[in-house]
Structure 1
Amino acid sequence: MTFSICVHESYEDDDGTEQHRFGVAVTTRLAGVGTLCPFVNEHGAVATQSLVNVSLGERGVAYLADGLAVEDALESLLNADDGRENRQLHGVDRQGTFAFSGDECGDWYGDAEGEDYTVAGNLLTGPETLDAVATTWEAADPADPLPARLVAALRAGHEAGGDKREELAVQSAALKLVDTARADPATAPYQHDLRVDATETPIDDLRETYELAVQSHETAMERYEDAYEEDEMDDAEGVE
């Protein structure tokens, strides 16, 4: 199923400490892609697709957490997978990238590796989809929020052709990212894990969901910032 992008970027926080962000964005002409494809932790990002084997994503990021390089981790998983030729698996860690497409993936299929990112897709209209995703990602302003750049990359691929199964009206899209500066899910911003599970306009809806999540987070922080900082949300009047 469809196309995705995995990315890594490093930056220095206000204290001069090196931090890392990892993200995955994906869309398909089926429902619920966010439950199957994207896997991220503070060590890397992995996407599993085509004839999906969810364990490749789950175990892939677990291997990265254990210290394996992304190419070693994902290649070892594929070597143990009898369905290897039906899989697409790609991802990034802090040092490298990995992308694989089995020979039995649905045409058109392909993948590519760039500097700190990978893209892959299957059942696409053609290579122009992945070209558009990669070009848009590379041209994006790094000062813009990572979720917004990921959604823009998906939009570019969708507009360039995307998933060729036009008879399938119900679609989905998702983005997931982890920032080492805020790796605890309890404190990560709402907009770091978003899904649109069933819609006919997945990219537009994911973009709107992202914008609403940003607005929601800003509003909550304005109203309850002191309570968040003191970990006393139970005592904050009006909190549900």
Structure 2
Amino acid sequence: MTFSICVRERYTDEEGDDQTRFGVAVTTRLPGVGTLCPFASENGAIATQSLVNVELGRKGIEYVDDGLAIEDALHALLNADDGVENRQLHGVDADGTFTFSGDECNGWYGHESGENYTVAGNLLTGESVVTETAREYRENEDDDRPLAERLIDALAAGYAEGGDKREELHVQSAALLVETTEADETEPYYNDLRVDATETPILDLREAYELAGDGFAAAVERYEAARDEADS
């Protein structure tokens, strides 16, 4: 019912320290996908979809946070899942990637992975949805723009290829989540966004991202001004 992308990016922060960020973005022709499919922490990102088992994402991130490699964590969870043939599960951690599509997922379904990303989808118009989502991310992987913005672009590329094939379902949703190893007491609002019910999920997610970015910048400016005034 979905297509999604998970990524890992290493970068250097303003202090010159090495950091890693993880992101996941997803869209589908059903409401509320952000409550079910995307999971992320400072240690990894996971998307669980098709016939969704939320515990695969929730426990998967818990296991990765506990130090288990993502491949071992997700294999273990799938091996204990009676509905494994209907599951689609993928993600990244600090060192590796994992992709799985059960034999009874609804077509078109499939996945793709690269050094720092995984993409998967089911009930799609075709393979090009996954291919274009991955291509868009790869081509902008080294861009200086925030990861959240580039994840929206990746979803937009897949959506333009047809996305979810169930055109009779007009109520759609989209979500993104970005986490980082970098400690920041003012975590940007645009790193955790959901559009739960709309007919234009990518457009609305992009608008929410832009508004959240403006709101975050305005809040930082206001609080910094108030702090400077208090210190003077």
d(CA) in 2 for partners of 1:224, 1:28: 37
Moved more, 83-92 or 141-150: 141-150
Runs of 4+ in structure 1 off by over 2 angstroms are 225-229
Alignment identity in percent? 64
d(CA) in 1 for partners of 2:227, 2:67: 33
The yes-or-no answer on 1:33 pairing with 2:33 is yes
d(CA) in 2 for partners of 1:86, 1:182: 38
d(CA) in 1 for partners of 2:27, 2:186: 26
TM-score, normalization by structure 2: 0.95
What is the letter of the counterpart of residue 211 of structure 2?
L
Deviation at 1:9, TM superposition (A): 0.3
Match in the other structure for 1:153: 154
Deviation at 1:228, TM superposition (A): 7.8
Match in the other structure for 1:221: 220
d(CA) in 2 for partners of 1:173, 1:182: 27
TM-score, normalization by structure 1: 0.92
What is the letter of the counterpart of residue 148 of structure 1?
E
Please, which runs of 5 or more residues in structure 2 have no aligned partner? Answer: none
SS in 1 for 2:182: helix
- For these two proteins, the number of residue pairs brought into alignment is 228
Match in the other structure for 2:206: 207
Match in the other structure for 1:58: 58
Deviation at 1:213, TM superposition (A): 0.3
d(CA) in 1 for partners of 2:218, 2:186: 15
The alignment yields a C-alpha RMSD, in angstroms, of 1.5
The yes-or-no answer on 1:112 pairing with 2:112 is yes
What is the letter of the counterpart of residue 147 of structure 1?
A
- 1:174-199 deviations in Å (ceiling 9; x for gaps): 0001021146xx63110010000000
Please, which runs of 5 or more residues in structure 1 have no aligned partner? Answer: 230-234, 236-240
Deviation at 1:15, TM superposition (A): 2.1
Match in the other structure for 2:73: 73
d(CA) in 1 for partners of 2:83, 2:224: 49
Change (3 A) 1:181 1:228: farther
Deviation at 1:226, TM superposition (A): 6.0
The yes-or-no answer on 1:136 pairing with 2:133 is no
Q: How does 1:82-101 map to 2 (within 5 A)?
A: 82-101=82-101
What is the letter of the counterpart of residue 174 of structure 2?
A
d(CA) in 1 for partners of 2:145, 2:38: 22
Match in the other structure for 2:188: 189
Deviation at 1:16, TM superposition (A): 2.0
